[in-house]
A and B are shown apart, each in its own frame.
Chain A
């Protein structure tokens, strides 16, 4: 069975808005790919062709871009993708322990997807949250900081029951100290 993909009127209106930000035809390809990935959950070849046609640019160009940037899902992934950071600071602070814990818990290796299509695990490069290591990102969205195996367990269980963790604001330490001082 071949699935077909298309943009609806609202998407096309949004794409027009995106196009207005750039002076040429090729430049909007990244934001439009983001839009498509949010809509379809991936940017498999069929979606790449849709993007190429919509923007009137070569399909090969879209393919080259999709395969260059790691956040675009050129192949279908699980419903929830755990991007576990293992770079340097996270490595120092136990990022690999978190990764292996997740792997054991879900019974898959990094780069794989569970059979029910719910979860994928990826070992990724620095996500820019080094002060809050170890950490991971869920499906290009929310950051889960200062992970422990218990915290990971509750996140996975929460997701199973449809609860996405919320954005976690990490207070700016100098503000916090001040508060503590004033409280004290």
Chain B
């Protein structure tokens, strides 16, 4: 079923000039949802509403946010935290920065509502260090919200206290992984933690913690304003809501676009982004950031950007950071660069990832430079099997999937580059 996207008006980043300013935001119903929640809702009701809306996490895993909130234990009077994940380091992803730039207060409002729902004492907004400019914007927005009493002690006279702090990363992809992000917030090397215990039991500083993506939290006020049923009617049935598609690569008009989930990839390329540069054919599409398996350009018909459709097509929604490649692209080069990225970003904690990512990259360099043999392709797939699901966090999977699916789906590119392992006699 095609989604009616042509008449869609952006909700997360509506076209209102200067919405990042708190006065403008207030004028357009800003912080009204927070007021409503604080006055009329119980925390349980907020959780139920969000759970019913089925906001699926926009950070990559696509888990129901309300359900995640419901895992938090009962309050015991000691601190509880939200870590808002704005690390946004997955190649192809550049969406959360649009919220920081164009509608930061929507996020603050959402995070505060989430805080109220889970009896949170403080929200730490983790933003990647490279986003210096956006960190400053976010800090300004938080300062303004404090000044107006939307954060801090006794928020809007409700008796609810909550703080919000910005924490700057400093260049580490792994810190987008939730437990690594907590380690980084605690001032440590970003090594993912062994689970269990899960963050809801033992998170930041050993206290119950929920980690949500920036965009996920920005969706919360929309649900409160219009109700779960309204929200569920937007976009794909099993994966509803507006979503920020970050589209990059060989298209005419790359950028971030807000549309409902479930849009067809072809619409996004040809209608939204104005088609391919130079009118070329699509060779490959990575639908949700570099770790999601690439789809072949000749197999895009009917594939839509939602969890179910992408699963059927053999990929994942991820962060909705789409990378479009044209027919001239050399998939060997592309795959080498992806592997280089994961090799560079592996934290080095678990053996299969630490040494496996390097093994993958070195084998791909060998193939790229024309020294590869046919058996190296089997070796690559073997190494993927040795890495997938064998580490503490999902970085090893993220490194292995692109290799597995690029080698299998674009095998002709690789076969062209390698020598035969078995040579004919004479």
Chain A interfacial positions (CB closer than 8 Å to B): 21-24, 26-31, 33-34, 57, 61, 64-65, 68-72, 83, 86-89, 91-93, 125-133, 137, 140-143, 167, 169-170, 172-175, 178
Residues of B within 8 A of A86 (CB): 337
B347 to chain A, nearest CB (A): 8
Residues of B within 8 A of A143 (CB): 133
B195 CB within 8 Å of chain A: no
A87 to chain B, nearest CB (A): 5
B306 CB within 8 Å of chain A: no
A98 to chain B, nearest CB (A): 15
Contact of B132 (CB < 8 Å), options: A72, A125, A141, A169 = A141
A-B contact pairs, 15 of them (CB 8 A): A27-B185, A31-B168, A34-B168, A57-B187, A64-B189, A69-B172, A71-B169, A72-B170, A91-B337, A92-B323, A93-B249, A128-B88, A130-B93, A131-B246, A173-B256
Q: Is the CB of A173 within 8 A of B255?
A: yes
Rounded to whole angstroms, the CA-CA distance of A126 and B128 in the bound complex is 11
Q: Is the CB of A88 within 8 A of B129?
A: no
Closest to B189 in A: A68
Residues of B within 8 A of A92 (CB): 249-250, 323, 325, 329, 334
Q: Is the CB of B323 within 8 A of A130?
A: yes
Q: Is the CB of B91 within 8 A of A130?
A: yes
Q: Is the CB of A140 within 8 A of B94?
A: no
Q: Is the CB of A128 within 8 A of B89?
A: yes
Residues of A within 8 A of B188 (CB): 26, 61, 64-65
Known: A24-B186, A64-B189, A131-B254. A167 touches B98 (CB 8 A): no
Q: Is the CB of A132 within 8 A of B88?
A: no
User: A23-B205, A68-B347, A126-B290 given. 14 additional CB < 8 A pairs?
Assistant: A23-B79, A30-B167, A31-B168, A70-B172, A88-B323, A89-B323, A92-B250, A128-B97, A128-B131, A130-B321, A131-B248, A132-B255, A133-B254, A140-B129
Residues of B within 8 A of A174 (CB): 10, 13, 15, 257-258
Residues of A within 8 A of B97 (CB): 128
Q: Is the CB of B132 within 8 A of A140?
A: yes
Contact of A88 (CB < 8 Å), options: B91, B132, B186 = B91
Contact of A130 (CB < 8 Å), options: B15, B246, B345 = B246
Q: Is the CB of B94 within 8 A of A130?
A: yes
Chain B interfacial positions (CB closer than 8 Å to A): 10, 13, 15, 79, 88-94, 97-98, 101-102, 128-133, 163, 165, 167-173, 184-190, 205, 246-250, 253-258, 286, 290, 321, 323, 325, 329, 333-334, 337-338, 341, 344-345, 347
Q: Is the CB of B169 within 8 A of A69?
A: yes
Q: Is the CB of A69 within 8 A of B170?
A: yes
Rounded to whole angstroms, the CA-CA distance of A27 and B207 in the bound complex is 15
Known: A65-B189, A89-B248. A70 touches B171 (CB 8 A): yes
Q: Is the CB of A68 within 8 A of B190?
A: yes
Rounded to whole angstroms, the CA-CA distance of A87 and B94 in the bound complex is 13
Residues of B within 8 A of A21 (CB): 163, 165
Contact of A170 (CB < 8 Å), options: B131, B246, B255, B334 = B255
Rounded to whole angstroms, the CA-CA distance of A21 and B89 in the bound complex is 25
Residues of A within 8 A of B205 (CB): 23-24, 27
B187 to chain A, nearest CB (A): 4
Q: Is the CB of A130 within 8 A of B248?
A: yes
Residues of B within 8 A of A129 (CB): 94
Q: Is the CB of A128 within 8 A of B186?
A: no
Known: A89-B91, A89-B323. A131 touches B333 (CB 8 A): no
A91 to chain B, nearest CB (A): 5
